[in-house]
Amino acid sequence: MSSRRHKAAPSMAAAAMPLEELERWLQARVDWHPAATSIPMLDGYVAAIVAGPVSMSPLDWICPLLAIDADAFNHGGTPEFAAISAVVLRHNEISQILSTTPRQFAPMHRREANGNIDARPWCQGFYAAIRLRLSVWAPLLDARNVNHGLLLPILLHCRDDQGRPLLGSPRSGRETEDFLRNAYLDIPAAVEALRQHWMPIRYARAH
């Protein structure tokens, strides 16, 4: 099994679409409603898959992520397969980092024109992956749950289907603005904490 994986890895890397090209490809597919339309959104989505409560078949999460059919996995040499390969590489990279050197995990955020980090697309991608298995994530979405705080650095950047803040409108004021501006700094630790929280449950489900 392991030798087969090692043989497959180089071909997957060779087939993978560069991230800049992948973003353009995603944006051209907006009418198909992919779960991500940018690399930060894709990165957040994949991080949630790695750190989440259940192991999922690649078909079950990559197809909605890229808005492709399952048959795309069977045909190498296509843009769809190149996109799949890029996603798998990032998934494996995040998994490896969180398993061996979690402090080195760095979400792919973008900077705004004023230099501030914009964590909203990444967090929205993470939340899109949560919604794939909403019933399993539900305990941590309950504000009464003692572990709800693990998701707060992510959820406070998210919006619902009507474009409203997922956690409600924040209080106005300089203190709130400063908090929101710097909340992204807690996201890497939150992702690792979520992975640790779900690991016993995920392992038990897998077996």
* Phi/psi at 78 (5° precision): -105, 160
Question: What tokens were used for 116?
Answer: 């501030």
Mean pLDDT of 67-82: 95
pLDDT at 3: 38
- Which of the four pLDDT bands, split at 50, 70 and 90, describes residue 173? low
pLDDT at 175: 67
The 10s digit of each residue's pLDDT in 141-155 is 999 999 999 999 999
Asked whether residue 2 carries a pLDDT value surpassing 90, the answer given is no
Asked whether residue 171 carries a pLDDT value surpassing 70, the answer given is no
- Nearest in space to 37 (alpha carbons), one of 21, 47, 25, 46: 25
Asked whether residue 8 carries a pLDDT value surpassing 60, the answer given is no
Domains and CATH numbers, the chain: 2-206 (1.20.120)
Percent of the chain with pLDDT over 90: 74
The CA distance from 148 to 153, in Å, is 10
Asked whether residue 130 carries a pLDDT value surpassing 90, the answer given is yes
What is the C-alpha end-to-end distance of the chain, expressed in Å? 18
Cα radius of gyration (the chain):
17
- Which of the four pLDDT bands, split at 50, 70 and 90, describes residue 5? very low
Among the listed ranges 9-23, 36-50, 89-103, 130-144, which one has the minimum average pLDDT value?
9-23
Asked whether residue 132 carries a pLDDT value surpassing 70, the answer given is yes
The CA distance from 175 to 54, in Å, is 37
pLDDT at 85: 97
The CA distance from 126 to 166, in Å, is 13
